[in-house]
Each structure stands twice: as structure tokens, then as C-alpha cells.
A = this chain, B = another copy of it.
Amino acid sequence: MPDTPFTFTLPFPTLIPSHFDNHIERRLSSLKGQFFDLDTYQKMLAVEDSLVYEVYEIRRPEAAGEILTGISIVHPGKVGREFYMTKGHFHAVIDTAEVYLCMKGEGCMVMENPQGETSVASLYPGSVLYVPPRWAHRSVCTSRQQDLVTFFAYPGHSGHDYSTIERQGFGKLVLEGEKGIEIVDNPRWNKP
């Protein structure tokens, strides 16, 4: 990997980076057990393994002095009343933070730490979110029409721990209610 400065652009309207090293597509099937309404999930999956979110990554060495960046795109959609979301993860090196800059769309970040404290932050264009070290995080697209697009940056040595969240879920669910967005307790949460 050349160690010289490099640039890329985030062209409107897609905001897909003009240069990237890795493109991840996550479909319904990769979120098994994460959506609350398991029946609806199974029925949807039987019809189509829909695209839920995408990540465009810029590769750098996985070292503490590096910053890993990219674009996350969560598409609009629901499983039952629950909005489309990312798998969510802790960092494998848990004392590492992450910064999100929302470029487009509407949504929120669902977060929790290993003590079981929870937090939900709104994301909208021009909002910046600081996820401190030790907080797991999951993005949720709450628009019916528009992608939620965020630019992210985290330390090169962070790594990912998906399995803890796969096992315990998040404490909060983000649902479409009659009067708007509802943030409710997750009855199936295996609180740490």
C-alpha cells in the first residue's frame, strides 16, 4: 500500500466514494435473529433476500495511528414495524471510538456499553456523532424514501466484534409507530 497522501470524492447524489477498496453488501439473511418480528422476517426472506445496507471501505493498515474511513448506506425498509438497520458491533479492541458524519437521510444510532447502558442519537445531514470507546453501535434508517448515508472514521486497530451483539441484541428497538418513530425496549434483549 503506497504511503503517500490520497484523495477521493463523495459525489452527490449517491455519495459512493469515487475510490474505495472494499464494497460490502448486507442482505436480510445476514441479520438473522436481529429483527424482533421473526415471522415477518422469515416471510420476507422467503420472497427475497433484500439488500439492507452497504459499506464502502477505504483500506489502510490496521494500526493504531491509522484512521479507517468509508461510507455506510442503510436503505429504507422495514421488517414489520422495525426499520432497516446494520448488524451493529462492538470494536474488538474495545477502547476505540468511532465518529460519524451524516451526509444524507434520516436515522439514528442505537448504542450500548458492556454495562448495559443504552443511548440513541439522531442522525440527519450535518450532524456529527461521537461514539466513545466501549459503546456498541448500530445505524438505523428511519426515512421511508431515502438512504441514510454516513461517513465514518475509526482507529485502524479497532477491529470488529459482531458476535456479542448477535448473541445479546441491543436494548432498544426503533419502530415505526402511529405518531412517528418509536424507541422501545427490546423484550428479547439478553442484557449483559
Chain B contacts for A67, CB-based, 8 A? 67, 97-99, 130, 153-155
Contact B97 A8 (CB under 8 A): no
Contact B97 A65 (CB under 8 A): yes
The answer to whether A12 and B126 touch (CB under 8 A), given A153-B99, A153-B153, is: yes
Name the contact of A63 in the complex, choosing from B63, B95, B122 (C-beta under 8 A).
B95
A51 in the interface, Cβ–Cβ < 8 Å? Answer: no
**Cα–Cα, bound, A6→B97 (Å):** 12
The answer to whether A97 and B10 touch (CB under 8 A), given A131-B5, A132-B3, is: no
Residue of B nearest to A135 (CB): B5
Contact B128 A7 (CB under 8 A): yes
Interface size class of A (residues with CB under 8 A): 35 or more
Contact A5 B119 (CB under 8 A): yes
Chain B contacts for A64, CB-based, 8 A? 64-65, 155, 157
A80 in the interface, Cβ–Cβ < 8 Å? Answer: no
10 nearest interchain CB pairs?
Answer: A65-B96, A65-B95, A153-B153, A64-B64, A5-B119, A10-B126, A65-B133, A7-B129, A3-B132, A67-B99
Using A5-B135, A153-B153 as known contacts, list a sample of 7 further A-B pairs with CB atoms less than 8 Å apart, ordered by residue number in A. A5-B119, A8-B128, A65-B97, A67-B155, A69-B128, A101-B151, A128-B151
